[in-house]
Structure 1
Amino acid sequence: MQFLSTLPSRHPLRNNAGFRRLFFASAFSLTGDWFAFVALNGFVYHRTGSPGWTALLFAVNSLPGVLLLPVLGPLTDRLDRRRLRVACDVGALLPVVGLFGAFHTGSVALAMCSLAGLSVCGVLAGPIPEAALPNLVPPEQLSSAQAALGSLYSAGLLVGAGLGGVVTAAWGPSATLAVDGASFLVSAALIASIRASFSAVVPTPTTATASISTPAAVPARPVPARARLRPWGDMSELWRFVRSTPIVAALLWLTVGLRLCYGMVGLLPVYALGRFHAAAGGVGALYLAQGAGAVLGPLIGRRIVQDSPRRRLTVAGGALAVFGLGYLALAQSGRLGTGMAAALVGHIGVGACAVLAINGLQLATPDAIRGRVMVLAFGLTAACQGVSSLAVAPLTQALGPATVTRLLGLLALVCSVTWTVRTTRNRAIGIIAIPATTDQVGRDSST
């Protein structure tokens, strides 16, 4: 914990115990996931010898949970978010056991089914920290907290993928799965220890309409959500909110553009094992570079934006272009070192774009519907990544990884220019403003 002393005294990691536990729980969980994913990439590639199957892993890791989105979305607003996250962490142990069985029997089918199970747990558990964050930290610290939380995906990738490759090479895939299982248990324990409530709130009848239609509105009676689940009614309410809030719609479209191009990330193991002729350590090295870029991206993006609402949109759109340029450079790389540099640059763009979009959604969304908005954003991320990966798998077989990477890199540039021009010209989008009041519940600021 020594690094905490280097942070500013007002940083939520130093002065907010609830956020600190949420942060480290997410860190352990994400790091363990990447340990397992690196081992799974090598297992599938060596069992099938097919780059298409390796790219397909991203689709299996993304799509299954999306099919349950109408049910999963409302759960994050209707149930206790802490208990729901703990249940997801504990429930994820079952597919981890399935991966153990797949690795020991050599069954690719069982490995894919187990990965699909982890996808379902991830789609439900992943958005909970982002949905709960405005309830745990004051509004003036939200940007710092989201930058820290958003960088965790990247840091988990940085540490998990890098060490995962080393551990897999040294002790075999079973060791990486053991780390993954232990990470879920640690995460569940940390989340359960948070004293502050970060459940959703149920607005009173007099404020219900305002809280859905006006982002800055705050429910008047903050009580834990226990309302009856209405999957289709809740989702209809969500779509009405999105349609009536242009900034939310714009940021969701940015997420779609980013993730439709993301299938080319699934080709990193193909570059490492095929073009660069590296082993599991090479796969880990490329993922390490990817993670380093994605850690730097949110920090660079936040420094450039400096809480300027209009600059947030411009920088987020430009970051999508950086992603495309990085992977165009990867397609030209002939060595592991230059490939790592290209992945680093590309994922600086990914990290900045993704975190700026999520932070904007948090600021523009009231708590009564924030869980559904976050699940929708994560669901779109998973669905578009899955569709992109499904397209990449056969295209790679037909055209080769370099050609497919170039096509998706160019698509990222087109999406960036189109989104930035349309957003700049749309006066209805307005300004993302930090509300003057906040709908936090039982914030735990003790140290």
Structure 2
Amino acid sequence: MPSATKPNVALVGDRNFLLLLAGQNLSAFGDWFRTVTTIGLIYAWTGSAANLSLLFISSLFPAVVVSSFLGPLIDRFSRRTLMVVADLARVLVGCGFVLLIPLESPALLYLLLAINGAFSGLYLPARSALIPEIIKPHHLSRANSILATSFSAAMLIATGLGGLLADIWSAQTIYLIDAATFLLSAVCLVLINPRRQPTPAKPHVSYLEQVREGMREIKKSRSIQCAIWILMAREAALSVVYVIFSLYILQVVNQGNFGLGLGHTATGMGQILGGLTLAAYFKKRTFTPEHYRRWATLSLLLLGLFHTISYQQGDFSFFLLLVVIANLWYSPIDVLSSTNIMTCAKPEVQGRVFASSLALSRLFYLGGFLLMALIGNALSVTAIAWGMGGFLLLAALLHHILAAKLTAARSDLTVKETYP
């Protein structure tokens, strides 16, 4: 195993990693900067929880469809090039927001969000599959921790500024900034030089068969299934959280856009601290199935517990503190699941595995928003929070049982081997 300091030094001095880090953060900044403004616009125009749910649904459904069927493209073509195409397309979407906002039409906003979501469905699995092409295997867990932490930092800055500036700057100005961030991200990606390229698919294999190959890789690996399960459970719960989060701030404590900015800032702070803690943990440890099982289960449990408690509070300051604590457990789920897939899935099908993982997790995410569209106006925020917490408790227990069986059965294997 490398010394404790070498992984960190290697990543800090790795040009490809730094370019990917910059590109990811610029994209994340643009996404969240736009999201805060869009939430405020939709709520101002409609005042409806159902419409807030539709805002997220319009972004998620196209991402599910695209990632379900375009996985083979990620394994066939340059993942970097696909990411650049996705970023440039989202530049045009940002400009479209600028032109259409004066019409004050939620339907047009949903349409642009759907187009943006479709290209995100291409960008995200391509990004995950690109990481092992530019990062050495023993650096993966730490690299994923740094990427997750920096993503949270970008979200914190973007949402904090978005909430503060939404009442000062016009929506058009914010959407122009959104478009500019994607353009800069594309420039960073163009400069990346991957150390290896994906293996092209065999000419005689049909496109549908290539999709099936990715699904078969998931079916034969219980370890990959566990990693995808914790993502699905978290996404289902967080879609509910995103809606009641806005409702709590805008309705229960009446804090307005400034309160939304503070709330998202607290969310980002928690995710940054969680990511930094995990990065420090893996600085002197290698990734093992036991680490994965223990921390993934604990993260799901504590995520649900603290989110549930936070929405029972009437004091906004105490709510913000609990939001920070709850989100400590967000980044570990991302890092642990992604690293588990990277170490277990064969390189030639990783694009399809990540695409399927994104599709399945976003399908659960979409399901949570559909549920909120039905019950968001009928049940209280506190009641919905209790239901969400109970779901995560059951999900954590199920994950613990499945992962414990894997660890006990294959404890003698290295993390590079795929569990049957």
TM-score, normalisation: structure 2: 0.91
Residues 225-254 of structure 1 show CA distances to partners (whole Å, capped at 9, x for unaligned) of: 685883310121112211111111111122
Q: 8 Å contact 1:309–1:431 — kept in the other structure?
A: no
Question: Paired residue for 1:321?
Answer: 301
Instruction: Tell me if 1:353 matches 2:351.
Output: no
Distance change >3 Å, CA 429–CA 178, structure 1 → 2: farther
- CA RMSD in angstroms comes to 2.2
Distance change >3 Å, CA 421–CA 23, structure 1 → 2: same
Question: Paired residue for 1:43?
Answer: 41
Q: What is the aligned counterpart of 2:120 among 91, 97, 122?
A: 122
Residues 376-421 of structure 1 show CA distances to partners (whole Å, capped at 9, x for unaligned) of: 1222222111111110122111112221122112211121122112
Question: Paired residue for 1:220?
Answer: none
Q: 8 Å contact 1:298–1:351 — kept in the other structure?
A: yes
Question: Paired residue for 2:390?
Answer: 410
Question: Paired residue for 2:259?
Answer: 282
CA distance in 2, matches of 1:229, 1:71: 15
SS in 2 for 1:399: coil
Q: 8 Å contact 1:70–1:231 — kept in the other structure?
A: no
CA distance in 1, matches of 2:395, 2:173: 41
Q: 8 Å contact 2:31–2:178 — kept in the other structure?
A: yes
The alpha carbon displacement at 1:430 in A equals 5.0
Q: Which runs of 5+ in 1 are unaligned?
A: 1-6, 203-224, 437-447
226-235 or 396-405: which moved more?
226-235
Question: Paired residue for 2:207?
Answer: 231
Letter in 2 for 1:254: I
CA distance in 2, matches of 1:186, 1:48: 34
Residue pairs, 1:267-416, within 5 angstroms: 267-304=244-281, 306=285, 307-416=287-396
The alpha carbon displacement at 1:187 in A equals 0.5
425-434 or 282-291: which moved more?
425-434
CA distance in 2, matches of 1:127, 1:407: 30
Distance change >3 Å, CA 342–CA 59, structure 1 → 2: farther
SS in 2 for 1:332: coil
How many residues were matched structurally? 408
Letter in 1 for 2:317: G
CA distance in 1, matches of 2:113, 2:410: 38
Q: What is the aligned counterpart of 1:258 among 234, 237, 254?
A: 234
CA distance in 2, matches of 1:54, 1:234: 36
Instruction: Tell me if 1:433 matches 2:414.
Output: yes
SS in 1 for 2:378: helix
State the identity as a percent.
Answer: 24
SS in 2 for 1:398: coil
Q: 8 Å contact 2:215–2:353 — kept in the other structure?
A: no
CA distance in 2, matches of 1:50, 1:61: 18
CA distance in 1, matches of 2:25, 2:203: 31
Question: Paired residue for 2:399?
Answer: 419
Q: 8 Å contact 2:238–2:365 — kept in the other structure?
A: yes
28-37 or 399-408: which moved more?
399-408
CA distance in 1, matches of 2:204, 2:164: 48
419-428 or 241-250: which moved more?
419-428
Q: 8 Å contact 1:74–1:229 — kept in the other structure?
A: no
The alpha carbon displacement at 1:34 in A equals 0.3
CA distance in 1, matches of 2:234, 2:206: 31
Q: What is the aligned counterpart of 1:245 among 203, 221, 230?
A: 221
The alpha carbon displacement at 1:55 in A equals 3.0
Question: Paired residue for 2:191?
Answer: 193
Question: Paired residue for 2:19?
Answer: 21
Residues 311-364 of structure 1 show CA distances to partners (whole Å, capped at 9, x for unaligned) of: 221111110111111211122121321221222122211221122111111111
Residue pairs, 1:121-140, within 5 angstroms: 121-140=119-138
Residues 85-129 of structure 1 show CA distances to partners (whole Å, capped at 9, x for unaligned) of: 111100112322332234211110000111111110111101222
Instruction: Tell me if 1:176 matches 2:174.
Output: yes
Residue pairs, 1:193-212, within 5 angstroms: 193-197=191-195, 199-202=197-200
TM-score, normalisation: structure 1: 0.86
CA distance in 2, matches of 1:45, 1:432: 52
Q: 8 Å contact 1:133–1:198 — kept in the other structure?
A: no
SS in 1 for 2:197: coil
94-103 or 44-53: which moved more?
94-103
30-39 or 377-386: which moved more?
377-386
